[in-house]
Amino acid sequence: MPFTLPPLPYTPDALAPHMSAETLEYHHGKHHQAYIDKTNQLMTEAGLQGRSLVDVIRSAESDPLRNNAGQLWNHSFFWQCLSPEQTTPPEPLMHLITRDFGSLEALNKKLAEVAVAHFGSGWAWLMLVDGALQVTSLHDGDTPIAHGGMAPLLTIDLWEHAYYIDYRNARPKYVEALLAALINWEFVALNLDGNGIQRANQD
Ligand code: MN3
């Protein structure tokens, strides 16, 4: 079965003014859809229909397939990391944040630093690695799935298409708004079970 566009877990106008309906119509409706269409096309050409998305990313033998399938998964995960409700990290996530970063403010500062410093397109990540929280960024369509031992908890899209409509070239303002108002910390905490990869998978 071809991969399909997962519906947003909120209405397109729910994240405004931090992320506008116009951004979501383009970012979800056109950019995410394009990665799905390209992945399906490349899988058909390679005779890989019927594989799960995670399996395709892990076993892809061509860069176009790995990157498009990675982008498909990354976006499916990203939408779930956002919420129109203001949330805070529940336990035991808050305990880990305090242990590994000192405070939520310090974690958000680290996420913003890594996101703003990342050169070019890519994604900032909060991950669980060997039982510890870790902030890093990966380039282009790369994804924790393609690396061993990384359990993704939270991601921030750093491609210009994520913020150009609302913030033009100002990535720092977009990252700051996202961290201040839109993070779904309940979803982030859920991923401490190590099953975050499956939450954006498709069969
Ligand atoms: Mn994007």
Q: How far is the CA of 40 from the centre of ligand 1 (A)?
A: 18
Q: Provide the whole-model pTM.
A: 0.98
Residues 95-148: tens digit of each pLDDT: 999 999 999 999 999 999 999 999 999 999 999 999 999 999 999 999 999 998
Residue 25: inside a domain: yes
Interval 3-20 mean pLDDT: 98
Q: How far is the CA of 46 from the centre of ligand 1 (A)?
A: 25
Q: How far is the CA of 170 from the centre of ligand 1 (A)?
A: 16
Residues 151-170: tens digit of each pLDDT: 999 999 999 999 999 999 99
Q: How far is the CA of 102 from the centre of ligand 1 (A)?
A: 30
Residues 13-64: tens digit of each pLDDT: 999 999 999 999 999 999 999 999 999 999 999 999 999 999 999 999 899 9
CA torsion through residues 69, 81, 111, 153, sign = negative
Q: How far is the CA of 1 from the centre of ligand 1 (A)?
A: 24
Q: CA 91, CA 154: separation in Å to the nearest integer?
A: 16
Q: How far is the CA of 138 from the centre of ligand 1 (A)?
A: 13
pLDDT of residue 53: 97
pLDDT of residue 67: 96
CA distances from 138 to 31, 131, 132, 135, 168 (A): 19, 20, 18, 10, 22
12, containing H or E segment = none
Residue 1: inside a domain: no
Residue 189: inside a domain: yes
At residue 160, φ and ψ (nearest 5 deg) are -60, -30
Domain that holds residue 67: 20-203
| CA-closest candidate to residue 162, choices 107, 198, 110, 115 | 115
pLDDT of residue 1: 80
What CATH code is carried by the domain that includes residue 45?
3.55.40.20
Residue 2: inside a domain: no
Q: State the helix-helix crossing angle for 93-101 and 104-117, rounded to 10 degrees.
A: 70
pLDDT of residue 27: 98
> Which tokens is 191 given?
């991923």
Block residue for tokens 């409509």: 165
Residue 3: inside a domain: no
Residues 169-179: tens digit of each pLDDT: 999 999 999 99
| CA-closest candidate to residue 81, choices 186, 197, 167, 193 | 186
Q: How far is the CA of 159 from the centre of ligand 1 (A)?
A: 6
> Which tokens is 169 given?
């070239």
> Which tokens is 29 given?
């409706």
Residue 11: inside a domain: no
Q: CA 169, CA 116: separation in Å to the nearest integer?
A: 11
Q: How far is the CA of 78 from the centre of ligand 1 (A)?
A: 9
Count of domains for the chain: 1
> Which tokens is 111 given?
């996420």
> Which tokens is 175 given?
């990252």
pLDDT of residue 144: 95
Please give the distance of CA 98 from its chain centroid, rounded to a whole number.
23
Q: How far is the CA of 137 from the centre of ligand 1 (A)?
A: 14
Residue 172: inside a domain: yes
Q: How far is the CA of 129 from the centre of ligand 1 (A)?
A: 24
* Cα angle 64, 125, 63; round to 5: 10
Q: Is the pLDDT of residue 78 over 90?
A: yes
